[in-house]
Amino acid sequence: MALSRLSLRSTTFLKPSSLRRHVTTDTTPITIETAAPFTSHQCDPPSRSVETSSAEILSFFRDMARMRRMEIAADSLYKSKLIRGFCHLYDGQEALAVGMEAGITKKDAIITSYRDHCTFLGRGGELVDAFSELMGRMRGCSNGKGGSMHFYKKDACFYGGHGIVGAQIPLGCGLAFAQKYSKEENVSFVLYGDGAANQGQLFEALNIAALWDLPAILVCENNHYGMGTATWRSAKSPAYFKRGDYVPGLKVDGMDVLAVKQACKFAKEHALKNGPIILEMDTYRYHGHSMSDPGSTYRTRDEVSGVRQVRDPIERVRKLLLSHDIATEKELKDMEKEVRKEVDDAVAQAKESPVPEASELFTNMYVKDCGVESFGADRKELKVTLA
């Protein structure tokens, strides 16, 4: 192994401009066991041995590092008042977004709620588009009209981005229905949080999904706090994966990217054959609920730093890479530096991009804007004849 590394180093020496190492494209399958077993409800859990490859694990590291940097950049942009309104950050939960993408295709649909920046990135969204949307610029993924809670990417089957807690669950089951209707073998991942798990519409939608055998996978991102309310204070039964009752469920360590990948692959196969399944991802968010929440009034700082030390998803992958000799400490640090630069460049580019024009206020109200007159709030100003 050392010899190969020596020869590889010389390769990089010969091509100093190339930052790609031989090992990053190594796709020979390796099997790694997840740290914890899966707990299941009404089904057989998948095996703990996950098939992956060096290249894949390295890509996990890079993607998660990028997501983490994006969220931290968003934090500082918010504090410098370039991002306004609500900003819900996903750092700590990156393993979920990245692991899910590894287990599915871009034809499978994902829908989530307002904590959607990283999910958007995972679906192939560009950093520039994300930052532009956060800062309300034209370049943004929703032309600046959606904001933090309304990221969408139609070509990658990412359906958003929803502000009302739980309302995306029926939408997600509708996506699954459309997939069943079109007879393509795709599934829908419907993400919601432990707070939304108490919404009635979840159970309504789950009932229909189970009744009609829809390929819907409901994923509860259990970060243990619904804004300021801990799960033990909001749910009589905090075993969210069992709440489906007649619907099978699986509890997954959401901070272990390989476990998430395995669970999503398993869920996709299951849903295509047997209908809906619930995945409960045990995860954690380091920031508060949103930027206006310090995150320390309902939990101790020790708890947060404890999770960061023991369960941080990026650190776990780093340890995995180092212990399996897939990369060196320096290479990973370089990768993080690259990612940091990527994010900084994107922020700079987004800051340059223009704000939407006044006429954009009335576009995309109706399709083909069917000859309607659109009025301003007091019906006197800014009347536009829509083309």
- Torsion angle (degrees, nearest 10) of CA 272, 189, 254, 113: -170
Nearer to another protein, 109 or 314 (CB): 109
Handedness of CA 110, 116, 119, 121 (dihedral sign): positive
Q: Residue 297: how many CB atoms within 10 A of its CB?
A: 8
User: Which residue number, 173 or 279, has a Cβ lying nearer to another protein?
Assistant: 173
List the one residue out of 90, 34, 54 whose CA is nearest residue 257: 34
371: alpha, beta or left? (left if phi > 0; alpha if psi -120 to 50): left
Surface-to-core class of residue 79, CB atoms within 10 Å of its CB (0-12 exposed, 13-18 middle, 19+ buried): exposed
Minimum distance from CB of 191 to another protein (Å)?
14
Least CB distance to another protein at residue 216 (A): 10
The angle subtended at Cα 173 by Cα 230 and Cα 274, nearest 5°, is 100
Instruction: Output 140 or 295, the one with its CB closest to another protein.
Output: 140
Q: State the nearest-atom distance from the C-beta of 136 to another protein, in Å.
A: 12
What CA–CA distance (Å, rounded) separates 239 from 23? Answer: 41
Judged by beta carbon, residue 148 or residue 283, the one nearer another protein is 148
- Report in angstroms how near the CB of residue 94 gets to another protein at its nearest: 24
Judged by CB, which is closer to another protein: 3, or 370? 370
Quote the distance between the C-alpha of residue 223 and its chain's center.
13
And the tokens for 97? Answer: 């977004």
Minimum Å gap between C-beta 241 and another protein is 20
Contacts with another protein by CB under 8 A lie at: 109, 111, 140-147, 150, 152-154, 159-164, 167, 169-175, 177-182, 200-201, 204-205, 207-208, 211-212, 358-359, 362-373, 379-387
Minimum distance from CB of 192 to another protein (Å)? Answer: 13
Residue with tokens 């419907």: 190
Beta carbons of 52 and 29 less than 8 angstroms apart: yes
Q: How far is the CB of 369 from another protein (least distance, A)?
A: 7
**Nearer to another protein (CB atom), residue 172 or residue 313:** 172
Q: Residue 164 carries which side chain, given as an amino acid letter?
A: I
Closer of 173 and 321 to another protein (Cβ)? 173
The whole-angstrom distance between residue 347's C-alpha and the CA centroid of its chain comes to: 20
Q: What contacts 251, CB < 8 A, 6 or more positions away?
A: 38, 39, 40, 41, 239, 241, 280, 282
